């Protein structure tokens, strides 16, 4: 009878908790993907410091390269690779246009030599080219929100490299034209340091203390307030841009957990209805003298097994299906933070058990 | 749950407004100049020529041959290159381009007078530049729509869970009022009347819960986002209640339909 009770509870709660588990997984995956988007489009490598202005996005950020270069004076072994990023329209599709200095990107191990000294040329990401049907040698017309006039660019090559495979790469001067920015401006700058000491010296010059553990992967955002510049240290690119909204990583995790709790609230009702669903088995077990606590323990265990199973099933299904969301033609996979997902299971289970405990059926 | 949905809706609108607000475009720019390549009747040509800027040789420099008085350089191009002096190779001769073009439609280009081109226009692409009414906010709207659709995924998944869990909720409610239903049946109330009362009851309750939740959620998210935006010392958040009223109504309607379906399903059982 106890096996029958367990089987019934597992089956019912597995089915009922499945939509909750999938809703939580999709919600966490979507927020995770949104959070990771900026880190994805502003990739940083070891031994690099990323400098950006505090803005809502890399394409609305502008930093003063002249001022940065002035700060970097007398520091040896430093190379700056500036990038200008613009959101533009190409054939009615929103595309990220990235302006690079081909020489400077070599320090980052990126070969974009196909651009050569060609000014109105572009390299198109392979995935984007497939999607928009852009062929080699063709002229694509790019228009941005910052520039009233469209610019025709000749396609001179493709690139497979992430994240460029969904973008259009142009010489930095053209990106500046699209962004209406001057020669001394860039959206982000990657500072490649040959020596660890150079990074230490740089962080001291910027007036911030970088922990030694973070030294080679530090992220600095500079906020411009009139002529005053304030540098601040961050741990991820997404954090820099979300800080503009007053949101940090902890807030995102807290919001995700709150969202999970709200979505899982319905499991309280499921917990309450479980003893009612297995009423016959509970009555029989009570008649044969099984203590109430043992029945409650069996119910809780069965509930735990079913919920863990449904959470695992959904996670596996999403890992296999790899659903993606599209932002500016970038295909971003749903990214579920496994720790937050596990915590959401714990919260959901606690809510279901609360419902179970509040049910009067066990006392009957 | 409706509170969560309301918060999600407001967050979507907030992010949209922040993006649009952060892109510094004068409102006067309510049109843009589109470029049409290969137009037969055009009197303007686009050529890709070699040029020298600050001693650096550049290939594929977009040069516009147009009906202008003297060679000039677009304002934005000059800013981006940091110079307004370029030498363009026009066939066998070199043309010095100094000075900024007055015409704003030439901003991203170098421009040469058509009469100075001496037949080179035959190797160029005829183009037509024309004003278009497409809003300059189109791109940012596209982008925020992408982000909004990702956030909609969050909101919709919450709604699916809400409707799915309504089944045991409706069962629980029916179980709790079973004594009332039985009493009504004993006193001779018809089954259809009881069902109708249940449907109306569920409709009112759902509508109330969604609207109340939406109102509470809007107030809560508005306060939170205003605080967040004021901390960030940037663009203030504006009330979004009215802009979201249609969405709330749609969700209330959908939830109501789901609840009615559940009542019918359970009542059959």
Residues 115-154 of B with CB under 8 A from A: 125, 127, 129, 136-140, 142-143, 146-147, 149-151, 153-154
Distance (Å) from the alpha carbon of B269 to chain A's nearest alpha carbon:
14
Q: Could you tell me how far CA B69 lies from the centroid of its own chain? A: 41
The shortest CB-CB distance from B162 to any of A154, A243, A266 is to: A266
Residues 1-20 of B with CB under 8 A from A: 1, 3-4, 14-15, 18-19
Place of tokens 């530049």: B129
| CB contact set of A201 (below 8 Å; sequence gap of 6+) | A75
Least trusted range by pLDDT, from B54-63, B115-124, B126-135, B229-238? B229-238
Residue A98's pLDDT is what? 93
Residue A31's pLDDT is what? 81
Question: What backbone torsions phi and psi does residue B61 show, to the nearest 5 degrees?
Answer: -95, 125
Residue B265's pLDDT is what? 60
Tell me which of A263, A265, A356, A364 to substitute to probe the interface with B (most B C-beta atoms closer than 10 Å): A263
Residue B139's pLDDT is what? 56
C-beta separation of A256 from A337 below 8 A? yes
pLDDT over 80 (residue B242): no
Burial class (CB in 10 A: 0-12, 13-18, 19+), A54: buried
First-to-last alpha carbon distance for chain A, in angstroms, is 18
A51 token code pair: 């400098």
Distance (Å, rounded) from C-alpha A265 to C-alpha B245?
25
Is there a contact between A34 and B172 if contact means CB atoms under 8 Å apart? no
Supply the DSSP string of A4-43, one letter for each residue: HHHHHHHHHHHHHHHHHHHHHHHHHHHHHHHHHHHHHHS-
Is there a contact between A180 and B149 if contact means CB atoms under 8 Å apart? no
Tell me which of B15, B89, B153 to substitute to probe the interface with A (most A C-beta atoms closer than 10 Å): B153
Residue A204's pLDDT is what? 77
Q: How many angstroms separate the Cα of B150 from the Cα of each of A41, A89, A250, B147?
A: 17, 20, 21, 5
Is there a contact between B76 and A16 if contact means CB atoms under 8 Å apart? no
Residues B228-239 pLDDT 10s: 555 444 444 444
Cβ contacts of A183 on chain B, cutoff 8 Å: 79-82
A16 token code pair: 């009922």
Is there a contact between B105 and A146 if contact means CB atoms under 8 Å apart? no
C-beta separation of A325 from A336 below 8 A? no
A130 token code pair: 């497939």
The shortest CB-CB distance from A94 to any of B77, B139, B164 is to: B139
Residue A168's pLDDT is what? 94
Is there a contact between B139 and A152 if contact means CB atoms under 8 Å apart? no
Distance (Å) from the alpha carbon of B260 to chain A's nearest alpha carbon:
18
Distance (Å) from the alpha carbon of A195 to chain B's nearest alpha carbon:
31
Residue A147's pLDDT is what? 73
Distance (Å) from the alpha carbon of B188 to chain A's nearest alpha carbon:
28
| DSSP H helical ranges for A161-236 | 172-179, 196-205
User: Looking at the complex, does the CB of residue B85 fall below 8 Å from at least one CB of chain A?
Assistant: no
pLDDT over 80 (residue B107): yes
The shortest CB-CB distance from A177 to any of B31, B77, B161 is to: B77
Closest chain B CA to residue A241? B232
Distance (Å, rounded) from C-alpha A173 to C-alpha A151?
12
Is there a contact between B51 and A119 if contact means CB atoms under 8 Å apart? yes
C-beta separation of A37 from A325 below 8 A? no
Distance (Å, rounded) from C-alpha A257 to C-alpha A253?
6
Tell me which of A14, A15, A21, A23 to substitute to probe the interface with B (most B C-beta atoms closer than 10 Å): A23
Chains A, B: CB contacts within 8 A come to 220
Residues B147-189 pLDDT 10s: 656 666 666 666 666 655 555 566 666 666 777 777 877 888 7
Residue B225's pLDDT is what? 60
Tens place of pLDDT for every residue, chain A, 364 residues?
777 878 888 888 888 888 888 888 988 888 888 788 888 888 877 767 788 887 777 887 888 888 888 878 878 888 888 999 988 888 878 889 999 988 877 777 777 888 888 899 999 999 999 999 999 988 898 887 677 778 899 999 999 888 889 999 999 999 999 888 889 999 998 888 777 777 777 777 777 766 666 666 667 777 666 567 777 777 777 777 777 666 677 777 887 888 788 778 778 878 887 887 777 888 888 888 878 888 888 888 989 999 999 999 999 999 898 888 887 788 888 888 899 999 999 999 999 898 888 876 666 5
Is there a contact between A26 and B79 if contact means CB atoms under 8 Å apart? no
Distance (Å, rounded) from C-alpha B232 to C-alpha A97?
27
pLDDT over 70 (residue B22): no
Residues B35-94 pLDDT 10s: 677 666 667 888 888 899 888 888 889 898 888 889 999 988 999 988 888 998 877 788
| Eight-class DSSP state of B180 | H
Q: What is the mean pLDDT of chain B?
A: 69
Residue B237's pLDDT is what? 42
The shortest CB-CB distance from B48 to any of A23, A120, A176 is to: A120
Cβ contacts of A20 on chain B, cutoff 8 Å: 161, 164-165
Closest chain B CA to residue A61? B22
| DSSP H helical ranges for A43-158 | 65-71, 102-105, 126-132
Residue A229's pLDDT is what? 72
Cβ contacts of A245 on chain B, cutoff 8 Å: 14-15, 18, 228-229, 232
Distance (Å) from the alpha carbon of A84 to chain B's nearest alpha carbon:
11
Residue among A86, A105, A93, A99 at smallest CA distance from A129: A93
Cβ contacts of A147 on chain B, cutoff 8 Å: 76, 107-108
Is there a contact between B57 and A117 if contact means CB atoms under 8 Å apart? yes
Distance (Å) from the alpha carbon of B222 to chain A's nearest alpha carbon:
13
Residue B234's pLDDT is what? 43
User: Looking at the complex, does the CB of residue B25 fall below 8 Å from at least one CB of chain A?
Assistant: yes
β-pair type (A78-90, A63-64): unpaired
Cβ contacts of A121 on chain B, cutoff 8 Å: 60
Is there a contact between A145 and B175 if contact means CB atoms under 8 Å apart? no
Q: What is the mean pLDDT of residues B233-252?
A: 50
The shortest CB-CB distance from B1 to any of A30, A262, A273 is to: A262
Closest chain B CA to residue A328? B143
Tell me which of A246, A272, A335 to substitute to probe the interface with B (most B C-beta atoms closer than 10 Å): A246
């Amino acid at each position: 009878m106890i096996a029958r009770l367990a089987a019934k509870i597992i089956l019912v709660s597995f089915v009922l908790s499945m939509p909750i588990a999938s809703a939580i997984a999709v919600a966490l995956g979507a927020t995770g993907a949104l959070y990771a988007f900026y880190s994805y489009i502003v990739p940083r490598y070891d031994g690099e410091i990323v400098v950006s202005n505090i803005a809502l996005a890399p394409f609305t950020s502008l930093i003063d390269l002249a001022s940065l270069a002035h700060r970097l004076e007398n520091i040896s072994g430093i190379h700056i690779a500036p990038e200008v990023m613009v959101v533009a329209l190409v054939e009615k599709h929103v595309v990220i246009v990235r302006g690079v200095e081909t020489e400077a990107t070599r320090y980052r191990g990126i070969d974009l030599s196909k651009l050569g000294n060609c000014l109105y040329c572009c390299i198109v990401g392979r995935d984007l080219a497939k999607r928009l049907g852009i062929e080699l040698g063709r002229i694509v017309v790019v228009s941005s929100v910052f520039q009233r006039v469209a610019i025709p660019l000749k396609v001179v090559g493709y690139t497979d490299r992430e994240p460029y495979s969904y973008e259009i790469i142009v010489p930095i001067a053209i990106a500046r034209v699209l962004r209406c920015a001057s020669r001394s401006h860039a959206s982000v700058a990657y500072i490649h340091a040959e020596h660890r000491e150079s990074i230490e010296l740089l962080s001291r010059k910027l007036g911030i203390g970088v922990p030694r553990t973070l030294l080679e992967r530090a992220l600095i955002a500079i906020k411009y307030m009139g002529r005053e510049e304030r540098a601040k240290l961050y741990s991820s690119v997404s954090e820099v841009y979300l800080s503009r909204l007053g949101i940090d990583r902890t807030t995102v995790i807290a919001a995700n957990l709150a969202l999970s709790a709200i979505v899982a609230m319905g499991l309280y009702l499921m917990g309450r209805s479980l003893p009612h669903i297995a009423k016959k088995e509970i009555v029989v077990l009570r008649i044969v003298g099984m203590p109430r606590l043992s029945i409650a323990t069996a119910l809780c265990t069965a509930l735990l097994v079913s919920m863990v199973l449904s959470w695992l099933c959904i996670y596996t299904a999403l890992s296999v299906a790899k659903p993606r969301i599209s932002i500016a033609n970038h295909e971003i996979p749903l990214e579920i933070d496994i720790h937050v997902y596990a915590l959401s299971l714990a919260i959901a289970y606690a809510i279901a058990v609360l419902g179970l405990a509040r049910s009067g059926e066990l006392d009957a | 749950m409706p509170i969560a949905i309301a918060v999600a809706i407001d967050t979507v609108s907030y992010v949209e407004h922040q993006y649009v607000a952060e892109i510094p475009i004068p409102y006067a720019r309510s049109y843009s100049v589109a470029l049409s390549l290969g137009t037969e009747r055009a009197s303007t040509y686009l050529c890709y020529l070699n040029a020298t800027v600050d001693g650096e040789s550049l290939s594929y420099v977009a040069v516009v041959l147009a009906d202008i008085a003297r060679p000039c350089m677009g304002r934005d191009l000059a800013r981006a290159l940091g110079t307004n002096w370029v030498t363009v190779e026009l066939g066998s001769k070199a043309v010095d381009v100094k000075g900024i073009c007055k015409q704003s439609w030439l901003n991203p280009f170098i421009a040469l007078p058509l009469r100075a081109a001496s037949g080179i226009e035959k190797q160029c692409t005829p183009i037509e530049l024309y004003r278009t009414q497409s809003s300059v906010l189109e791109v940012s709207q596209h982008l925020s729509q992408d982000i909004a659709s990702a956030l909609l995924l969050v909101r919709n998944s919450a709604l699916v869970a809400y409707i799915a869990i309504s089944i045991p909720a409706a069962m629980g409610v029916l179980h709790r009022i079973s004594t009332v239903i039985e009493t009504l049946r004993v006193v001779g109330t018809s089954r259809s009347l009881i069902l109708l009362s249940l449907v109306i009851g569920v409709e009112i309750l759902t509508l109330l819960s969604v609207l109340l939740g939406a109102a509470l959620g809007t107030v809560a998210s508005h306060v939170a986002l205003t605080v967040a935006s004021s901390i960030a010392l940037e663009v203030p958040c504006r009330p979004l209640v009215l802009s979201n009223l249609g969405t709330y109504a749609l969700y209330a309607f959908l939830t109501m339909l789901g609840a009615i379906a559940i009542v019918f399903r359970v009542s059959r059982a």
